[in-house]
Amino acid sequence: MLSTVCTGAIQGIEGFPVCVEVDIAPGMPTLAVVGLPDAEVRESKERVVAAIRNSGFDFPLKRITVNLSPAELRKSGTQFDLPIALGILAASDQLSQNARQKLTGLLVLGELALDGTLRPCAGVLPMLISCKKLGKTAVIPPQNVLEGQVSSAPFITPHTLKDLADYLEGKIEQDAVQISYIPQTEERLEPEIDFAEVKGQALAKRALEIAAAGGHNVLMIGLPGTGKSMLAKRFPGILPPLTQEESLEITKIYSICNLMGKSRLLTNRPFRDPHHTISNVALIGGGSTPRPGEVSLAHNGVLFLDEFAEFSRAALEVLREPLENGQVTISRAKETVTYPARFTLVAAMNPCPCGNLGNPLKPCTCSPMQINRYKSRISGPLLDRIDLTVNLNPVKYSDWNKTSEGETSAQIRERVLKARKIQRARFAGTNTTANAFMNAKQIKEFCPLPPGADTVLEAAMRKFGLSARSLDKILKTARTIADLEGKKDIEVKHLVEVMQYRPLDRKGVAD
């Protein structure tokens, strides 16, 4: 006998509907799963057999074939346990005609424990959103209830396989399982950390304000203990709030990675700070069952790379694609997966391997060659993506001892929001979202040089050996500074300010 149960799977960060077809025929007792299941799905067999037996049903000792269609798309995840188990119960006549009829109206997702209890599975949110058009009621594990609410699809959350069978048979009332249609949005949480707590470092704070206002990437160079990571952690707090659409995008990525935690919808910009020993796969995404990496978990937020020069050359190399395109493409034998990865890069590094170069109290023990090698680790193409570089000096006692608090994150964010508003109007109807992403034509249109600028730029080119690409970066950054001031045109003083965050060229770190 044949039965069909509807479920879902994930490709990239989108879900797609999958039909689980179960055929039971006389013959040697076997259970075969076909239709491009990966290792995770094939393991489902053992759980399904145990869960069916331990729920008081019979596991048919016959030839069972499970087909997952469409067959050409790879299936991964543990959500197939429950639909396969139900398909077997239906195909072996352990569900009544009425129950089988009711089953056709359901979209079933869930991992099974050996005793038949439902366990949470990854990617519930994108699967529910993509399958909403089917007009079915979803069955999801109770632990995934928050994702069900965000999806605004109708759903029920049975606790066990037996519960669900009883619901289908009409043995338990409908209100024994929850149905909710309410999408929930949480308020943006005010971060607990604030720029006002960081003493001194006015130049670095200003660089981060410009970065937030124009979407620029930043590199902070400074002695250990100068507050690089303190500053970086406070950076998301001055970024504009997420739009509804951005929230949903990030929430889908976290759903796929099983990192939802207790949140319903992620409403704060993500901040990711992977360690420099991270593998390429963990950073960029991929693996035998592809998963988004840190660059995608930082989507619409901040990727903080501390000890930037300590990251492997290969890891820094793979950062180029997301920095350039705002996404990563992972190619495998049978499929190509694309994950969004548009983040602001905040990088930090010591001035030299021992960390003491420029420290008035401790001597630097590095040889010039070591220092050069250290600096050259960050390749030119990567530096081309970093618009602002700022040197942090040790905090002066007079700054540290200041009783008056500095500006709060909220005050800085207000200016950032104004500058962003100007950019939204400027780039209306284009794909550009901020000054940092202007193309050559837009730079020409929106960044005309003010009178007297030639002298400043020529001097800078001579002094720092800047490339033409560096000049583009200077113009984009100056545009943002002008926007922060609400000025229509870039002025010479804006260009002069940018020179303080002078871009590094291939020669390495400026002294």
Nearer to Zn ion, 95 or 357 (CB): 357
CA-closest candidate to residue 211, choices 273, 303, 299, 283: 303
| Residue 223 vs 284, nearer CB to Zn ion | 223
How many CB atoms are located within 10 Å of the residue 24 CB? 20
Q: Would strands 137-139 and 327-331 be described as parallel, antiparallel, or unpaired?
A: unpaired
State in angstroms the smallest separation of the CB of 370 from Zn ion: 7
Q: Which is nearer to Zn ion, 101 or 367 (CB)?
A: 367
Q: Yes or no: say if 238 and 209 are a contact pair by the CB < 8 Å rule.
A: yes
**Binding segment toward Zn ion, per CB under 5 A, in 85-93, 279-287, 318-326, 361-369:** 361-369
* DSSP helix/strand/coil, 427: coil
In the three-class reduction of DSSP (H, G, I as helix; E, B as strand; rest coil), residue 186 is classed as coil
Starting at the edge strand that comes first in sequence, how are the strands of the sheet with 218-222 ordered? 271-272, 302-305, 344-349, 218-222, 388-392
Give the nearest distance from C-beta 365 to Zn ion in angstroms.
6
Which residues in 38-57 contact Zn ion (CB under 5 A)?
none
Smallest distance, Zn ion to C-beta of residue 208, A: 26
Is residue 109 close enough to count as binding Zn ion by CB under 5 A? no
**Residues 275-283: contacts with CB under 8 Å, at least 24 apart:** 276/305, 276/306, 276/307, 276/308, 276/310, 276/311, 278/311, 278/315, 279/315, 280/312, 280/314, 280/315, 280/318, 283/315, 283/318, 283/319
Q: How far is the CB of 74 from Zn ion (least distance, A)?
A: 49
Instruction: Give the DSSP letter of residue 377.
Output: T
Q: Rule CB under 5 A: is residue 496 a binding residue for Zn ion?
A: no
CB of 362 to Zn ion, least distance (A): 9
Tell me whether residue 365 or residue 411 sits nearer to Zn ion (CB atom).
Answer: 365
> Least distance (Å) from Zn ion to the CB of residue 351?
7
Number of shown-chain residues binding Zn ion (CB under 5 A):
6
Nearer to Zn ion, 150 or 352 (CB): 352
- Closer by beta carbon to Zn ion, 170 or else 224: 224
Those residues with Cβ within 8 angstroms of residue 123's Cβ, 6 or more apart along the chain or in another chain: 10, 15, 77, 79, 255, 256
Query: Residue type at 313?
Result: R
Using the structure block, give the residue that is written with the tokens 């077809």. 21
Interaction residues for Zn ion, span 433-452 (CB under 5 A): none
- Contact 256/78 with Cβ under 8 angstroms? no
- Residues 328-357 touching Zn ion, rule: CB under 5 A, are 352, 354, 356-357
Q: Which residue has the tokens 């995840």?
A: 77
- Minimum Å distance from CB 223 to Zn ion? 10
Does residue 214 contact residue 483 with C-beta atoms inside 8 Å? yes
Q: How far is the CB of 366 from Zn ion (least distance, A)?
A: 3
50, 259, 282, 364: residue in contact with Zn ion (rule CB under 5 A): 364
Nearer to Zn ion, 364 or 449 (CB): 364
Residues 376 and 508 sit within 8 Å (Cβ to Cβ): yes
d(CA 202, CA 392): 9
For residues 346 and 284, the answer to whether their CB atoms sit within 8 Å is: no
In the bound complex, what is the minimum distance in angstroms from residue 397's beta carbon to Zn ion? 24
In 238-316 the beta strands, taken as DSSP E runs, fall at 271-272, 285-286, 291-292, 302-305
Q: Does residue 366 belong to the site contacting Zn ion (CB under 5 A)?
A: yes
Query: Please, what sign has the CA dihedral across residues 498, 501, 502, 505?
Result: negative
- Tell me whether residue 78 or residue 356 sits nearer to Zn ion (CB atom): 356
For 285, left (φ over 0), alpha (ψ -120 to 50), or beta?
left
> CB of 238: closest distance to Zn ion in angstroms?
32
The minimum distance between CB 369 and Zn ion, in angstroms, equals 12
* CB 509, min distance to Zn ion, A: 12
Q: Please name which of 470, 421, 476, 467 lies closest in space to residue 443, comparing C-alpha atoms.
A: 476
47 and 85 in contact (C-beta within 8 Å)?
Answer: no
- Residue 230 C-beta: closest distance to Zn ion, Å: 22
- For residue 236 the two structure tokens come to 């998301």
String marking each residue 394-413 x if it binds Zn ion according to CB under 5 A: --------------------
State which residue, 62 or 373, has the beta carbon closest to Zn ion.
373
The residue among 28 and 361 lying less far from Zn ion, judged by its C-beta, is 361
Window contacting Zn ion (CB under 5 A); options: 170-178, 226-234, 366-374, 486-494: 366-374
- If the CB atoms of residues 282 and 364 are measured against Zn ion, the closer one turns out to be 364
Choose between 326 and 358: whose C-beta lies nearer to Zn ion: 358
First to last CA, the chain: 77
235 CA to centre of own chain: 16
Residue closer to Zn ion, measured from CB, 357 or 478: 357
Q: Which residues form the interface with Zn ion (CB under 5 A)?
A: 352, 354, 356-357, 364, 366
